[in-house]
């Protein structure tokens, strides 16, 4: 019988970006059956979006 071991995995270095190379990420969410960018929300709705909690349901 042969014992198998996990291969050595080396993590790739994280890319380093200058500030001039960065791009603002636009976040969209589903509201009342359609998708809208969060940036277009009013202040109260943006605060509500930021308070949301996400969860992962465990298997039964």
Query: Within a domain: residue 40?
Result: yes
* pLDDT tens track for 7-23: 777 778 888 889 899 88
- Predicted local confidence at residue 14, as pLDDT: 85
Write out the residue range of the structural domain in which residue 47 sits: 27-52
Phi and psi at 28, nearest 5°, equal: -115, 155
* Total domains present in the chain: 1
Query: Within a domain: residue 4?
Result: no
Query: Within a domain: residue 42?
Result: yes
Contact of 49 with 38, CB cutoff 8 Å: yes
Query: Within a domain: residue 32?
Result: yes
pTM: 0.49
Query: Within a domain: residue 6?
Result: no
The C-alpha atoms of residue 15 and residue 50 are separated, in whole angstroms, by 28
Query: Within a domain: residue 35?
Result: yes
- Predicted local confidence at residue 1, as pLDDT: 65
Query: Within a domain: residue 31?
Result: yes
pLDDT band per the 50, 70, 90 thresholds, residue 5:
confident
Mean of pLDDT values over 24-45: 90
- Predicted local confidence at residue 3, as pLDDT: 75
Report the residue count for the chain.
60
């Amino acid at each position: 019988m042969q014992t198998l071991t996990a291969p050595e995995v080396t993590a790739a270095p994280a890319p380093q970006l200058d500030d001039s190379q960065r791009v603002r990420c636009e976040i969209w969410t589903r509201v009342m059956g359609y998708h809208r960018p969060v940036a277009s929300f009013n202040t109260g709705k943006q605060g509500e979006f930021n308070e949301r909690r996400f969860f992962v349901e465990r298997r039964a």
